Structure 1
Amino acid sequence: MRKGPSLQNFILQIELLRAYRAAVRATRPLPDSHTRRETLDWLRSDIERLRGELDDEVIRSNLSTFRRNLKTFTPALGMSGLSGTGAKLIGQRR
């Protein structure tokens, strides 16, 4: 019998989704739709491979790496408004 996800695993999965959603929002200022699509595909692939992961340490480690990469990556493209968890994004909704 396979053991299901723990409460901690569930919470970490939610944190992954939050990080991904923040990353998606942060790509809105990209002017080129092709570049935005490629960026979203790259971000999604990182999150997608952790979808069925049950090891909390693996998720925690990858979440940390994802956030660190995103913080490094966003200023390079001129994307603003992503300064951590729970922060309001700057800009207009289109």
Structure 2
Amino acid sequence: MRMGPGLQHFILQAELLSAYRAAVRATRPLPDPQTRRETLDWLRSDIERLRGEMDDDVIRSNLQTFQRNLKTFGPSLSISGLSGIGAKLIGQKR
């Protein structure tokens, strides 16, 4: 008898969504709208691939890869605020 997704699955899905939101916010400083759109499309395709995934290990692995990619590509794209700590993003009030 197979049970539905457990609590860990929902936690991982929430972490994945949170990582995507942070990535979207981090792309705001990109000056070229076309570059930002392409970057967002690339990030979204990674997340969409995992939408229906039920294996927690696959989600966890892809979440780690997604976060690692953001840290790797962030500086090369001149994206600031990837860590979200102390960085002021455009449109964010302090």
TM-score by length of 1: 0.89
Unaligned runs of 5+ in 1: none
**Separation in 2 of the partners of 1:41 and 1:53?**
20
Q: Which amino acid aligns with 2:18?
A: R
Q: Does the Cα contact within 8 Å between 1:26 and 1:89 map onto a contact in 2?
A: no
Alignment of 1:24 with 2:24, yes or no, is: yes
**Partner residue, 1:93:** 91
Q: Which range moved further: 37-46 or 1-10? A: 1-10
CA contact 2:81–2:88 (8 Å) conserved in 1:
yes
**Is the contact made by 1:19 and 1:67 (CA closer than 8 Å) also made in structure 2?**
yes
- Which runs of structure 2 are paired with 1:41-56 in the superposition (5 Å)? 41-56=41-56
- What residue number does 1:10 align with? 10
- Alpha carbon RMSD of aligned pairs, Å? 1.7
Distance 1:36 1:92 in 2: 14
Q: Deviations over 1:24-63 (max 9, x none)?
A: 0000001111110000000000000100111110000000
- Amino-acid identity (%): 75
| C-alpha distance in 2 between matches for 1:89 and 1:12 | 25
**By how many angstroms is 1:3 displaced?**
3.7
**Structure 2 Cα separation of the partners of residues 29 and 75 of structure 1:** 12
Gaps of 5+ in 2: none
Match of 1:82 in 2: 82
